[in-house]
């Protein structure tokens, strides 16, 4: 039997910290959206985070790839993992609650399993994965509600935009495995943010107008948080936890982020989610646990005398 990675106290601490950081990012983005447009919000996010990561790389003297093929891959990765999902989710947050956005965002793992099964022979859709995926989809459908289909409005579009972002995340995972294997994670993240900045900064300028720097203090605080902490620092922390705990344990972060965002949205923004959103998250969580598989494996493993 293949040994499973266990979670040390330090790994648990950093996993919880990462969940808190990402959970609060939904609130900070929503605060920034009160004064700037969704594309400008994303341009700030990828631009400042890019500068932070390249500074880190320079200080650590990490090797930077020079091959044009790698930089083209960074550009595509930036579009799939930043430009499309960040923009769709930021626009979606204009029309739905931050807590609901975080719940739908948790479906990334479900779509990731589907995308991997389509593109990679060694990640085929087993019975366990199929059951987990089906339950995950049921959770998403429950959270969205039938009213999103019967009365199609901006709220419905906002929910669909967030789901579209999760699909883009899933495709980004496929692209990263195929094109960015062997690169230092921090360099890959910086390269990706460079590619997304090359797209987002001009797009935001052309569509939403020149960047303003006379923003309210709370807006700048929100931008600083989601760009530097929830993006640049979170990427570095993510890879630390990945090395310590493994990708399977990192799925726990997906389950922890949503409650953080829900609580912050309720306290700061007085959000009141419908009951179906909580029910949908519960169903989705069951699907993610089944996809993870370790709980089932532990239950079915023979006990030692």
Q: To which residue do tokens 């949503």 refer?
A: 258
pLDDT of residue 147: 66
Q: Cα–Cα distance between 93 and 133 in angstroms, integer? A: 25
Phi, psi of 159 (to 5 degrees): -65, -45
pLDDT of residue 2: 45
Residue pLDDT, tens place only, 63-99: 999 999 999 999 999 999 999 999 999 999 999 999 9
* Structure tokens belonging to residue 69: 């093929």
DSSP classification of residue 80: I
Yes or no: say if 200 and 38 are a contact pair by the CB < 8 Å rule.
Answer: no
Reported as a pLDDT band with limits 50, 70 and 90, residue 10 is confident
The better pLDDT of the pair 126, 217 is held by: 217
Phi, psi of 114 (to 5 degrees): -65, -45
Predicted model pTM:
0.89
Residue pLDDT, tens place only, 225-273: 999 999 999 999 988 887 776 666 666 787 889 999 999 999 999 999 9
Task: Quickly count: other Cβ atoms within 10 Å of residue 54's Cβ.
Answer: 19
Which of 110-114, 206-210, 272-276 is predicted most confidently? 206-210
CA angle in degrees (0–180, nearest 5) for 300-303-305: 165
- Give 3-state DSSP helix, strand, coil % of the chain, rounded to 5: 80, 0, 20
Decide: helix, strand or coil at residue 81. helix
**Of 144, 147, 176, nearest to 160 (Cα)?**
144
Share of residues in the chain with pLDDT > 90 (%):
63
Mean pLDDT taken over the chain: 89
Asked whether the predicted pLDDT for residue 127 surpasses 60, the reply is: yes
Under 8 Å CB-to-CB from 158, ≥6 apart: which residues? Answer: 91, 92, 93, 94, 95, 96
DSSP classification of residue 211: P
Q: Cα–Cα distance between 76 and 70 in angstroms, integer? A: 10
* Structure tokens belonging to residue 150: 């019967």
pLDDT of residue 293: 73
pLDDT of residue 67: 94
pLDDT of residue 1: 42
Residue pLDDT, tens place only, 189-235: 999 999 999 999 999 999 999 999 999 999 999 999 999 999 999 99
Asked whether the predicted pLDDT for residue 6 surpasses 80, the reply is: no
């Amino acid at each position: 039997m293949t040994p499973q990675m266990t979670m040390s106290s330090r790994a648990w601490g950093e996993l919880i910290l990462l969940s808190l950081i990402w959970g609060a990012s939904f609130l900070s983005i929503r605060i920034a959206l009160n004064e700037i447009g969704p594309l400008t919000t994303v341009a700030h996010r990828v631009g400042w985070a890019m500068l932070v990561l390249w500074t880190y790389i320079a200080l650590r003297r990490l090797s930077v790839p020079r091959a044009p093929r790698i930089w083209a891959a960074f550009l595509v990765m930036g579009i799939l993992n930043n430009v499309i999902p960040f923009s769709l989710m930021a626009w979606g947050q204009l029309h739905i609650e931050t807590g609901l956005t975080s719940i739908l965002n948790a479906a990334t793992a479900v779509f990731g399993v589907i995308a991997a099964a389509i593109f990679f022979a060694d990640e085929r859709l087993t019975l366990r994965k199929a059951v987990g995926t089906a339950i995950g989809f049921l959770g998403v459908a429950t959270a969205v509600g039938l009213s999103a289909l019967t009365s199609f409005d901006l709220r419905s579009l906002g929910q669909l935009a967030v789901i579209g972002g999760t699909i883009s995340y899933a495709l980004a995972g496929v692209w990263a495995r195929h094109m960015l294997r062997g690169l230092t994670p921090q360099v890959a993240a910086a390269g990706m943010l460079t590619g997304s900045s090359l797209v987002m900064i001009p797009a935001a300028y052309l569509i939403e107008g020149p960047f303003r720097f006379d923003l309210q203090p709370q807006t700048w605080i929100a931008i600083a948080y989601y760009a530097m902490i929830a993006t640049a620092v979170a990427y570095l922390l993510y890879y630390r936890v990945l090395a310590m705990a493994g990708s399977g344990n990192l799925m726990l972060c997906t389950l922890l982020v949503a409650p953080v965002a829900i609580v912050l949205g309720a306290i700061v923004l007085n959000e009141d989610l419908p009951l179906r959103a909580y029910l949908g998250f519960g169903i989705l969580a069951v699907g993610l646990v089944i996809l993870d598989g370790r709980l089932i494996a532990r239950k079915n493993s023979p006990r030692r005398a």
